Structure 1
Amino acid sequence: MNIGKSSSSKKIIILVVFVLIAVMGVVSFSYISAATKKAVSSGIEAYSAFNFNKPVGAFTDSQDATPPGQSKIADNISKVVLRVDGMSCSGCIYTIKSSLAGFKGVRGILVNLPSGQAEIYYDNGQIEDVKKIADAITAGGYPAKVTEVLSADQIRKERNLATARSLNYIASVGAWDISRDDFNIELEHAKNRYAQIYSDGIFASNQGKVLIDNLKAQIVSRLINEGIQIQEIGRAGFTVDTATVDAEFDKFLNQKGIELQNFKTDLEENGYAFDYFMKKFENRVLINKYLDEKILDSPTDKFEKQRRYTSWFNNAKLLAKVVYYDRELERLIQARAAGGGCSSGSSCRKEK
């Protein structure tokens, strides 16, 4: 890559960079709920340098204030994991929970919208046939199939692993770990941008604390959505080499008249290390190249491209296993899900 001398205002350069990275590539679709659109209009999502895509977020919900997974696990507690089709919003979660309202022995319900999974904690002395749980959810309009059953000891081991990994990671999507460092970098950048526009005291009030929680939830959702795509691309065995990434980065700098050394300085002054930026840039190049060559290679109509991307991403969500290690962030995601609506903008309709 060529190193040149700066000739532009730092503020202008960094603003241009953030806007360009947000829309970089041939295709970057937005699939967000009405609640998220409201957040965008209020400016909350505008202050992430890497807002690459906004498919439906990583939403979960729980039935109990203190589910078994966050307290001592008794020997009579088991967990069944189900694949559930047709879920898209908190209304779907409510319907699923209602389908199990009459079940004696159900101790907790966790629903993961992106992966299309539900985890049901139950008393194995009261519920012996977990297929009945799947049948009840299916009868409620969401076809469900049992994929895994965990004993109390297995649940404890799972929770102990999550506690240990939470020191360095906030979540994982399959084998793709989302580091706490990445989350902290994104959060600090977002907070700094707000402080620059408003004031240093913007987060001191109760409203400011709510804003921080909203930012955290949005950043986590975005990082998980990125992970879902990377995980699916990795499963397909698709890669890009260093030469491709370097060529795309040189093109990026040349098209915008931004010279490398000045660009590095501006990034660091705005809270982003150059190495971190390049890691995200490489992820974006990988995603765009895969979509262009494997998913969107033939259609020219933008609606057909959008349909293909939606289908691909939804399938990727179904195959992804999202695990949260940070319980506070998981609760924020739960609260965000509870306020959302169907991504299509219409009411939930059960499948009969």
Structure 2
Amino acid sequence: MGWFLCSGKSNKKSKKKQNKKPIDPISSTSEKSKLNSSVDVKKEASKDGGSDRIAAQTFAFRDLAAATKNFRADCLLGEGGFGRVYKGRLESNNQVVAIKQLDRNGLQGNREFLVEVLMLSLLHHPNLVNLIGYCADGDQRLLVYEYMPLGSLEDHLHDLPPDKKRLDWNTRMKIAAGAAKGLEYLHDKANPPVIYRDLKCSNILLGEDYHPKLSDFGLAKLGPVGDKTHVSTRVMGTYGYCAPEYAMTGQLTLKSDVYSFGVVLLEIITGRKAIDNSKTAGEHNLVAWARPLFKERKKFPQMADPMLQGQYPVRGLYQALAVAAMCVQEQPNMRPLIADVVTALSYLASQKYDPESQPVQAFRMGSSTPRTRREQ
């Protein structure tokens, strides 16, 4: 349930704790008092008429401590501004789970905890992570999810160790299409629609065979209904993924999520981070780097991740980049509906690329300007 102000720097969860602050200053004393007060999830949910639909299991803190061997360091999966995530095994049924322990000294309050429980209790889709249960004992706030064995998409795209397998083109398109389907469910199937608000690579978790699921719903908002065109709210999200109109005005729409998805799709195609201050001047922001290249098709091969080693279909690359370019349009009304994105990416995912029988593009490792040639 991590959240950032739309400025600053995004760091990998497993390596460095994220510094997450809302745009409106909130005193830490106030937040701590909220977090330390007891919360009855079903009682709070009943105010919105949803308590009878909460299927999530309630856990005692001692049971989750036992599942993680008292939150032992070797069970730690990752860490972010929300707190820590541990791998655990429930003694009651021997199920392997991921347990998120919210930081009691952080800015994650009862509201975001409740939103996460309510959203994931009421929303179910193959591309949304499953919430198994929660713990609200005293000042403890923990969430129990299904365990996703392959970690996050971020783990497979950025800062990879030399011995780690790189994602091939087919797997990238499969992940992109699946993540889009999860977002489509939130926008088009949920009633009222849900704006995710925190779509990024670290929030796309991967199960067996790289099956993607959206996670972390603490920032999710119910979308506009009736004659309303947007929801006005504090600007929260992650720098590099926030739609420009939302960052400037606080007016949140479904198209805000489409922009964030476009950034993720660009990361999947290029292997670059949304924000990377290690790059040369002018290349720190992924979208800013990509926009001039979108205007010249002959430069599209420069945008392919060098880690693909030229193993991608030229037409598929062009089509995927065209989808990403539409999603990150500055004007929200120029962005496509997520349903149209799903249609395009599902088609690309169905077109399997075989480097043994299809052309391999020439490339130069470490260069952003690979030459293109065709080999049989």
TM-score interval, normalised by the smaller of the two chains: under 0.3
The structure where helix makes up a greater share of residues is 1
RCO greater where, 1 or 2, for CA within 8 Å and sep 6 or more? 1
TM-score w.r.t. length of structure 1 = 0.25
Whose Rg is larger? Answer: 1
TM-score w.r.t. length of structure 2 = 0.24
